[in-house]
Structure 1
Amino acid sequence: MSIAGKAIGVKKLLILLVVVYLAALPFLFAVKRERPQLSFNHLEMYDDINALMQVEFRFRKLLDAVNEYRLSQTESAREDILFHQEILEIRTQDGPAKEWDTKDLPRGGSLTVVESLPQMVDLIGSDVKHYLASGEPELGRGLADKIQAYLFEFNSELIFLSEYSNQAARRQEINLVGNVQRDFNLLFAINVIMIAALSLFAYVLTTKERKLTERSKEVVASEEKSAAKTKYLASMSHEIRTPMQGIIGLSQILASSDLKPDQKKNVGLIATSASTLLAIINDILDIAKIEAGRMELAPSPIDFRQTVEETIQLCSSISKERDVELSFSFSPNLPDSIHADGTRLKQVLLNLCSNAIKFSAEQMSGKKGAVKVTFAAHEPGRAYFEVSDNGIGMSREVVERLFSPYTQASADTSARFGGTGLGLTISKQIVELMSGRIHVQSEPGVGSTFSVDIPIKEIATHQHKTDLKHQAVIGYFADDKEAANLSGHIKVANGVYQAAQSYEDVIDLLHTFEVPPVVLLQQPVSQDLLDNMIRITDIHPQVHFILLSAANALGLALPDNCTVLDTKPLLPSSLLEALQNSGRTEARGVPGDAADEEAPKQAVARNRILLAEDNQINQMVLRTQLNRMGYDVDIVSDGEQGLQKWLSAGYDLILSDCNMPVMNGIEFARKVRQTESEEGRAEIPIIALTADAFEEQKVECLQAGMNDFLIKPTSIEELGDKLEFWLRKGAPQSKNMPLMN
């Protein structure tokens, strides 16, 4: 979230608090008020008093009817007595005084008469019946006196209850008024506290907003500074890579010339120095991308094992130059094809391997330097690899700051071994971009182990895989782990593997096959080994041996039916290729070991190439390289000249620089594609030749209609491969065609 967004969020929070407070105000009046401490409600008392007053009224009517009957003895008076008596019995049937609680009445108060109402009604009722039945005057006078006396007592208690009820009501009203006053005081206090809190919150908000504004300005300034730095580095990259193209190109041209041995050596030193300088430039550019947050991955389908083996082969040449043993193990349980950024994966592995070789024990003591690279499959969907060495090691303090830019163990380390200290920082960033983890364990004087754990996405592929077609292999290994790993690769390649524990086991297993299988030996090279190979050959003349051994075994007098594979390192693909070729007649030795670099292949037909390049030295270098590859070349210095030249003559391919005066290579490509579309011409392959190594430049090239790109400085081999690919393929069907890997 941006800083402005955070400020808006804080303002919304303030508004929300005010709204909640205003909405809660009505509920503040609902504070529980203290009720009068009475055991019955005064309103209910009023209802009961009203009922008692009705009873009193009915008693008076009954008294009047009795007196009238005494005087007149009429039938209507008799009926009035019975009527009022019946009404009294009905009204006192559930007597209102039955549920009263008199414990809270004032001292001296009593409800004796009221509570005896039902009994009194029953008593008077029986007297009424007796009087009406006999008609005696004395009974009538006694009944009237009894009713009169009860009415007096009843009326006294009724007046007492009425006064007490009125007093209770007044007390409750006073309590309610007190509660309202207390609620008002509470509300006033809450308002004071709320105003103080809002004032404090407003002050904090203002201060925070001011700080956020200042921080926003700092971030914008930092981003502008980072963008300017990135732009400057991109410009410097272009300015450095352009002359590097001339240095590396001329050194390759000189290396292929007829030179004296000391001259060849000097040219080789020039090429090595140029390559070292180029590696430093690449590291600085990667750090610039990381600091600017612009390093991104470009995942695509890759052959996992092939990608790793290509890196190991490159490291192998470095380790042999430094006399360091490099061993390699790749689990057969890892997938063949995955979706990943192969270039960045190679970069991480190359950084870790080259560091391990550089700091191996050979550099510090007389013991042999050794580096081991292991790829394992600990769980599905993840790949784990580690690079370990027996080198100088590091202390805990050095390990803690190891992945910081420009950091090395010490100034002495930097002076003795060289390097910028950027490789591990870049590797860590790449691994984290892959959602992986990198870890290091090290001990001074013992060595270091770098572990990388990354998620991988396996994909289905229709690429050709090595198929041994059920070829039988007998293996006799001194190392059980190596045996398990290599036998796994043989089985995955559709081979049949049988393990032997001795030379006698090898002979016994050979008897079980009609066609002798390949015997895979990983045993110490000795006279005993040679004698047993000869003995087995005498018994089974058709047998073929593959000996896994270090390079020093190549000088021994081995049988003709034996192929030696160098185990420092041993690539699974080399083993599978040797097994496939085991039935053919070929010279002993490590495949590919002979080889001085072959010269670039001559073009079968002299294709015409239009080169757009403004740097005169690069013009000369590229013309010489292209001519040696057998191509005819026309050179222009800018895109406008290139467009005119292309319109006036037929070319098979355009090789164009991107940064040129008048019209740059991007605009040149757009004009060519536009003209092809308007005139219905066939699309010509266009390859960008740029010194800008940033991803934006590559995307811009593709969007302009270019088919591929090369980053300066480029080797003659890489240039030849690109040209051969696109000249053989011809114009693509779509401008968005994927690039050649």
Structure 2
Amino acid sequence: MLFEENIPKNKDQRSIYTKVIFITSWGIVACCIGWMLLAYYLNEPLIALLTGPALLGTIFATIFTAYGMPLLGRTVWSAGGIVAVTLASFTIHEAANPELMYLVLLGGPFLTFAVGRENLQLTIVVAATAISLMAVLLLGNDFFGAPWVGKETAEKYLATGLLFMVFILIAVEMAAFGILAHTNQVKMEASSTQARLASRAKTDFLAAMSHEIRTPMNGVVGMVEILENSKLTTEQSRIVETIRDSSTALLSIIENILDMSRIEAGKLELKLQKTEVLSVFEKSADTLRHFAEAHHVTLLMNYDPDLPKYMSCDSGRLRQIILNLLSNAIKFSKRPPEDPKGQVILTVGFSDKDDLKVEVSDDGIGIGEEFLSSLFDPFEQSAEVRRHEFGGSGLGLAIVSQLIEKLNGSIGVQSQRGQGTTFTVHLPIIDREGQIRCPDLRNKTIAYLKNSDDGVHYFQKPIEKCGGHFKAFDTPADLIAAAQIRNDNVVYIVPFACDDWQNDKASPVFNSRNFPDETKTIFLSPAPHHLAERSEREHIFLPSAPILNSAFSKALERAFNLKAPKPNVDNSEKDEFLANKSDDVGPRILAAEDNDINRVVLESQLAQLGYTPVIVEDGAKAYEAWKLDDFDLILTDCQMPIVDGFELTRKIRDDEEKDGQGRIPIIAITANAVRGEGERCLLAGMDAYMTKPTTLAALKVTLGQHYKKADHTSTEQSEARFKTE
């Protein structure tokens, strides 16, 4: 409908259009009154009649607007103006320059009609104005006969009046434009401020909720780990495993929500550092080994041996990308135990542009073409996913897409419903350095079963680059027959769960008897815990699904008795404190934690790691304990009553500086996982920062890294304290 109101219905938006109508209306009414007075003075009633269409149009426009019909009012206003100017152009001598009034008409529609919402009305009014102007210019003022207002009157009175009227009306239009622009600017600024406040409130709320959830989750995860390290029955182990997987899934959801909040607020920052490329992918795949097994999925890894050893990257975010893509692929490739296993393949190599190309492909349910366009939108899940009840928050792929964009990369997807999915990620290789370590396999042969589904064939290219040879056998019988001839330069890769060897339940003892004692053999198993049973002679067992390059290289070095390179000093130092500590009393750790459950968890974790813990409830008691006794390290929560972790650290550092004491390492353990908290801890004088929930492995590594500092400073600390006392 031409006059259907399609502007926003809210009161503020209607008042803008009402204000425009009233401003322009008063200007036109004033001009019309002026022309009527001039007509009376000159005794030219025609001039007064010419103002009629404009005056009537303005009056009706004001009435319609006042009664809530601004669109109809603006249309009538424009029509009245066009009729009045057209009549004036054909009845007034050209000496008055009546065409100047078209300047007012051309500006009016763009002022009174909203571009985008009222395009039809705007087009009609502009077209009518243009037709009227063209008719006047082409036909001339005298087309309908001699002008009714002569040349003398036009030159002496009307020319100046028309010029003055055009000036006034254009000034009124500019004022209306200014009011509109100012009103919109104020509204935009208010909306922007409101959006910023809402975003900040949401971020603060999510950070607070994350802190509150992480605190009890630390008790859950910590106690589960302690239970896992105790003697449990098979059923108890299964229950503990379920609790662990559920808590990990919950933490993943929390991290995804926080990341999405950071991305929306523009606060997601990257930490580019020297990263061991292949190690990131191996650790990501290894993390999901149990997850893949539980979903009856074979996880395989394929890599290009020409990859650089190091590149500059945010290793944490890269790992997050890979974990998200792999876990999705495994989840959507799940199979019932009685069906053949699903398959997920992680491929790492180079693209045509020599950047890093990562592919994650699966043979799962696939994605419908209609859903591919919205695949990376937050909270979007296809009907297929919802129908199969795979769960998930719908944030994973949205975060992956944003992270890849932050890393100046790109992601693409190819999929067909029921045919699986392939995600392809391209990332720039920055500051490449070194090559992946390659064992010396010259004159060595690796024999394996052809068409096996353990992924051994993916290592053909890396082994050939190391100088080795790859040989495939068609059946287990052929492999066993070849092994009867002794050859110290051949290693046989034996699938532990090969179907042809299942009739005797394929125990390691049974498999080993098929090979002579001197045969170099590496047994593969998709489930590492199945390898606990050992045969009467030593064998090499290698976890598969996936087979990791680092583990495979070490297995080959051991099988061929190759000299392995010296271990990295930094890694070997992590556990040195445990090797050198006394069996009776471990390093003394002072820990400040205000949560009752977390105190129990922390005490148990430290005891399991071989430390002697002293646990207190707040920073004030920790400070007093530090003053009265000697400790090797301090662990502290950040948010505690009375004295928090930051104030505790400042007080200790001030005393150390004043008394000339050695510096004791202080490590923060906090549930606040927002960006910038780590930097705040370091600025306060702490030496490291850990987020809750804290795993035994993470605690072990962090404490091990800082124990040497404690070992060197504890004696100095004691001596300085005795001197001051």
Alignment correspondent of 1:257: 230
1:621 aligned onto 2:564: no
CA RMSD in angstroms, aligned pairs only: 3.6
Alignment correspondent of 2:661: 681
Which segment drifts farther, 703-712 or 401-410? Answer: 401-410
1:450 to 382, 402, 423: 423
In the TM superposition, residue 299 of structure 1 has moved relative to its aligned partner by 1.5
Alignment correspondent of 1:242: 215
Contact kept in structure 1, 2:484 and 2:515, CA below 8 Å: no
Alignment correspondent of 1:114: none
Alignment correspondent of 1:530: 480
2:393 to 420, 425, 441: 420
In the TM superposition, residue 443 of structure 1 has moved relative to its aligned partner by 0.8
Alignment of structure 1 residues 270-349 onto 2, 5 Å: 270-349=243-322
Alignment correspondent of 1:354: 327
1:473 aligned onto 2:444: yes
SS at match of 2:484: helix
Alignment correspondent of 1:543: 489
- Deviation digits for residues 174-229 of structure 1 (CA, Å, limit 9, x no counterpart): xxxxxxxx9xx999999987876665445324312321221111111111111111
Q: Given the superposition, is the C-alpha separation of residues 673 and 415 from structure 1 closer, same or farther in structure 2, using an over 3 Å criterion?
A: farther
Q: Given the superposition, is the C-alpha separation of residues 426 and 718 from structure 1 closer, same or farther in structure 2, using an over 3 Å criterion?
A: same
Alignment correspondent of 2:674: 694
1:639 aligned onto 2:580: no
Contact kept in structure 2, 1:683 and 1:732, CA below 8 Å: no
SS at match of 2:664: coil
SS at match of 2:686: coil
Q: Given the superposition, is the C-alpha separation of residues 223 and 658 from structure 1 closer, same or farther in structure 2, using an over 3 Å criterion?
A: same
Alignment of structure 1 residues 430-445 onto 2, 5 Å: 430-445=403-418
Q: Given the superposition, is the C-alpha separation of residues 271 and 575 from structure 1 closer, same or farther in structure 2, using an over 3 Å criterion?
A: closer
In the TM superposition, residue 469 of structure 1 has moved relative to its aligned partner by 4.5
In the TM superposition, residue 257 of structure 1 has moved relative to its aligned partner by 2.8
Contact kept in structure 2, 1:382 and 1:453, CA below 8 Å: yes
Q: Given residue 650 of structure 2, which amino acid in structure 1 is its aligned partner? A: R
- Deviation digits for residues 529-560 of structure 1 (CA, Å, limit 9, x no counterpart): 2212324x2xxx42331427575377543443
Cα separation, 2, equivalents of 1:706 and 1:408: 43
In the TM superposition, residue 699 of structure 1 has moved relative to its aligned partner by 1.5
Q: Given residue 372 of structure 1, which amino acid in structure 2 is its aligned partner? A: I
Q: Given residue 358 of structure 2, which amino acid in structure 1 is its aligned partner? A: F
Cα separation, 1, equivalents of 2:437 and 2:209: 46
Alignment correspondent of 2:550: 573
SS at match of 1:350: helix
Q: Given the superposition, is the C-alpha separation of residues 387 and 229 from structure 1 closer, same or farther in structure 2, using an over 3 Å criterion?
A: same
Contact kept in structure 2, 1:603 and 1:629, CA below 8 Å: no
Matched residue pairs, number?
512
Cα separation, 1, equivalents of 2:456 and 2:701: 38
Alignment correspondent of 1:375: 348
Cα separation, 2, equivalents of 1:198 and 1:303: 68
Q: Given the superposition, is the C-alpha separation of residues 288 and 728 from structure 1 closer, same or farther in structure 2, using an over 3 Å criterion?
A: same
Alignment correspondent of 1:703: 683
SS at match of 2:594: coil
In the TM superposition, residue 564 of structure 1 has moved relative to its aligned partner by 3.6
1:721 aligned onto 2:697: no
Q: Given residue 410 of structure 1, which amino acid in structure 2 is its aligned partner? A: A
1:496 aligned onto 2:473: no
Cα separation, 2, equivalents of 1:473 and 1:619: 55
Unaligned 5+ residue runs, structure 1? 1-181, 499-519, 587-597, 734-741
Contact kept in structure 1, 2:489 and 2:560, CA below 8 Å: no
Contact kept in structure 1, 2:227 and 2:240, CA below 8 Å: yes
SS at match of 2:643: coil
Contact kept in structure 2, 1:302 and 1:340, CA below 8 Å: yes
- Deviation digits for residues 463-522 of structure 1 (CA, Å, limit 9, x no counterpart): x96353473334678589x89964543466xx3245xxxxxxxxxxxxxxxxxxxxx444
Cα separation, 2, equivalents of 1:195 and 1:486: 84
1:658 aligned onto 2:638: yes
Cα separation, 2, equivalents of 1:577 and 1:710: 32
Contact kept in structure 2, 1:490 and 1:576, CA below 8 Å: no
- TM value normalised by structure 1: 0.63
- Deviation digits for residues 309-357 of structure 1 (CA, Å, limit 9, x no counterpart): 1111112222122221222111123211011111111111111111111
Q: Given residue 543 of structure 1, which amino acid in structure 2 is its aligned partner? A: N
Q: Given residue 573 of structure 1, which amino acid in structure 2 is its aligned partner? A: S
Q: Given residue 414 of structure 2, which amino acid in structure 1 is its aligned partner? A: Q
Cα separation, 1, equivalents of 2:600 and 2:387: 38
- Deviation digits for residues 680-739 of structure 1 (CA, Å, limit 9, x no counterpart): 211111111010111121111111111111111111222122112210344899xxxxxx
Cα separation, 2, equivalents of 1:249 and 1:296: 29
1:206 aligned onto 2:179: yes
Q: Given the superposition, is the C-alpha separation of residues 308 and 490 from structure 1 closer, same or farther in structure 2, using an over 3 Å criterion?
A: same
Q: Given the superposition, is the C-alpha separation of residues 378 and 261 from structure 1 closer, same or farther in structure 2, using an over 3 Å criterion?
A: closer
Cα separation, 2, equivalents of 1:264 and 1:654: 33
Which segment drifts farther, 698-707 or 575-584? Answer: 575-584
Contact kept in structure 1, 2:591 and 2:616, CA below 8 Å: yes
Cα separation, 2, equivalents of 1:732 and 1:405: 51
Q: Given the superposition, is the C-alpha separation of residues 258 and 639 from structure 1 closer, same or farther in structure 2, using an over 3 Å criterion?
A: same
Cα separation, 1, equivalents of 2:403 and 2:276: 19
Q: Given residue 716 of structure 1, which amino acid in structure 2 is its aligned partner? A: L
Contact kept in structure 1, 2:409 and 2:428, CA below 8 Å: yes
Cα separation, 1, equivalents of 2:229 and 2:238: 12
Alignment correspondent of 1:218: 191
SS at match of 1:264: helix
Q: Given the superposition, is the C-alpha separation of residues 650 and 579 from structure 1 closer, same or farther in structure 2, using an over 3 Å criterion?
A: same
Q: Given residue 531 of structure 1, which amino acid in structure 2 is its aligned partner? A: A
Cα separation, 1, equivalents of 2:624 and 2:667: 18
Q: Given the superposition, is the C-alpha separation of residues 491 and 360 from structure 1 closer, same or farther in structure 2, using an over 3 Å criterion?
A: same
Which segment drifts farther, 300-309 or 207-216? Answer: 207-216
Which segment drifts farther, 268-277 or 565-574? Answer: 565-574
Q: Given the superposition, is the C-alpha separation of residues 367 and 344 from structure 1 closer, same or farther in structure 2, using an over 3 Å criterion?
A: same
Contact kept in structure 2, 1:602 and 1:630, CA below 8 Å: no
Alignment correspondent of 2:521: 562
Sequence identity (%): 32
SS at match of 2:479: helix
Q: Given residue 622 of structure 1, which amino acid in structure 2 is its aligned partner? A: L
Cα separation, 2, equivalents of 1:430 and 1:582: 41
Cα separation, 1, equivalents of 2:355 and 2:711: 39
SS at match of 1:318: helix
Q: Given residue 619 of structure 1, which amino acid in structure 2 is its aligned partner? A: R
- Deviation digits for residues 428-477 of structure 1 (CA, Å, limit 9, x no counterpart): 1111111111111211111111111111203446xx96353473334678
Cα separation, 1, equivalents of 2:337 and 2:231: 39
Q: Given the superposition, is the C-alpha separation of residues 719 and 335 from structure 1 closer, same or farther in structure 2, using an over 3 Å criterion?
A: same
Q: Determine which structure has more spread, i.e. the larger CA radius of gyration.
A: 1
SS at match of 2:235: helix
Contact kept in structure 1, 2:299 and 2:345, CA below 8 Å: yes
Contact kept in structure 2, 1:687 and 1:706, CA below 8 Å: yes
